[in-house]
Chains A and B, each alone.
Chain A
Amino acid sequence: MTEPLLRAINTGKIYPGGIEALRNANLTIEKGEFVCLIGASGCGKSTLLRMIAGFETPTSGQIVMRGREVSGPGPDRGMVFQDYGLFPWLTVRGNIAFGPIARGKPKAEAAETAARFVSMMGLDRFADSYPHQLSGGMKQRVAIGRVLANDAHLALMDEPFGALDAMTRERLQEELLTIWRATGLSVVFVTHSLEEAILLADRVVVMSPGPGRIVAEERISLERPRDVSSPAFNDIRRHLASLLHTDHEKEAA
């Protein structure tokens, strides 16, 4: 068997002060896979994502990306933040070209790459706009575009559509799936919406708080495009909801 793209091995995180954010998490991401992490707040899903990104270090266990232990942030793991994190002093084009330039690509090549991803994200008309002139949906397109333009192997998305209105959210979900299929990108996507997780993911990882941990993994084999109102979709939703809830009841008992 070939080495998976990413493995979290018995990964745990205890913050100074003794709060255990994550305990003993084991997770494998295969190349090209779309995995959603879902759970209530405090379940450690964002902590796990931030450790994969290299922004935080595990206090136990390790995270291995393509055979090498993760020791810090790097361009092979691109992050899409809920609050965008765009550079306000750069135009849309400049934000998307930022990664290639930071990695030392020649100016002309960076500009060409940026132009390609500006088009792919449907941002041609806004290429020379600054972030403060864009809507939330547009900003998130830029954020996704700059990760793609940087040849990331793995896109880490932390509730990227959480701050958007329902219509924009649906459109971006659709576009994300199109891009994912076209590029063969691997995605770890954190959400607290069951519907979003089932709509997008190959695999849903259910997490639970107190201490944060992985409680279940569910492969979603519904055919795409998925119909959120179909009975099959609802069955899965009910099943995952029960997984999320039984655990809460155990917690309360």
Chain B
Amino acid sequence: MKPPPFEYHAPVSVDEALAALAETGPHGKVLAGGQSLIPLLNMRLAAPSHLVDINRVGELNTIAARPGGVRVGALARHAAVERSAEAAAVLPLLRQALALVAHPVIRNRGTVVGSLVHADPSAEMPAVLALLGGSVRLARLGGEREVAAADFFTGPMESAVEPGELAVSAFFPAPPPRSGTAFQEVARRHGDYAVAGMAALVTLDEDLRIAAARVACVSVGPAPVVIDLSDACDRRPAASVPWDAVAAAVRDRIDPDGDIHATAEYRRHLTGVLAVRALKDAARNAGTEAADE
């Protein structure tokens, strides 16, 4: 259980990091918080010959909360984003989801952008980015591009990051006014990856009926599965939404696999149940938000 040997690079600026990644190409791997990468190294499931450690790149340790959304730099730890009152004010979903990411001690070290790049289909942060329609900014020597969440998660543990690229930040857009969010999941043990779960977003109209509803499900596909449930909610107030039909709509749209943790059928059932819980929570939060206006 020891990591394989690698050549170590310790850039202190983004430019130095990009130069190291350009030089090492497909053999280079970025080390940020290491809470997913180092277990993979310890278990010899990955053996990159070069590690580019960005922990000294202070310019990446940023959390910028604006009315339009929150941009999180590549070195912002889960714990820092979770604690940020400014980020929570713009986007309560960040804190709602981060509280479910592993354990507090892991969150002290792990990074939000690292979770996105790791692209575990059972992880919370990719679902949050997918739900909100956010994006990841990828830099390479001499250029950068912004990749939308829908194009970013390309498969289980696979993202759109190309060799030589560094994910420098992620942008989580704020939902429209009168919106509420929630995150619901079920895990076998506290802090484990979820057997099923989802981030939910509900937007109310001026009469407090559900104008738009959307969930992003984890652990039921190769990447977060975003499902628009606006039609299923039938533009009614939360109290009179046909919730059984909403759960059925969710079950119809997913194709989960079974594994040692849960059968496919149980995952499908659970996802329907959790979708209703998450949407009800989100609708309640949207109501509170509307009342505050």
The reply to whether chain A is a binding partner of chain B is no
